Amino acid sequence: MKPFATAAHCALSALMMCGAASAQSAQSVNAAFQEGWALGVSPETAGEKTPCVAYWEVWRQSAERDWEQSFVDALDPAPTADKADFASYNWANEAQATYSDRDGDLSAYDSQVTVSVNQATEAYDRLMLLMPKPLKIFETLGTCQVP
């Protein structure tokens, strides 16, 4: 049974990836990213910085796993796995410093990361399953550019 379950999961993943990739053009993804960036806002509070950690980490994992490199390279700016890793690391440092400065307690950061990862994963699922607002993840990444 296990090989069948694995094969079924792989087939479903491939279908989801093909559906999402064919439905999303690099142009539409770039537009969503630029839309988020054009808002002109930058995360300032710990509660605003923590989701940036999660969204960049979810994109890093998916860029390596779910998307052809030619698609990722066509994005502008190309959010490669390396760039996403740097952005996630940068925002994690920023958020932790903010939590630490506020009350010296990072336990709030840990619980907020859990919530944010769930939100980012849901946004990614919207993209992969072609649900309403599939490009929300890229809008958020646009507001979470590394300064």
Which residues make Cβ contacts (< 8 Å) with residue 10, sequence separation at least 6? none
Low-confidence spans in the chain with pLDDT less than 70 = 1-23, 78
User: CA angle at residue 38 from 18 to 22, to 5 degrees?
Assistant: 10
Q: What does the alpha-carbon distance between residue 52 and residue 74 come to, in Å, rounded to a whole number?
A: 22
Tell me if the pTM is above 0.85.
no
Per-residue pLDDT reduced to its tens digit, 12-46 = 343 344 445 545 788 888 999 999 999 998 899 98
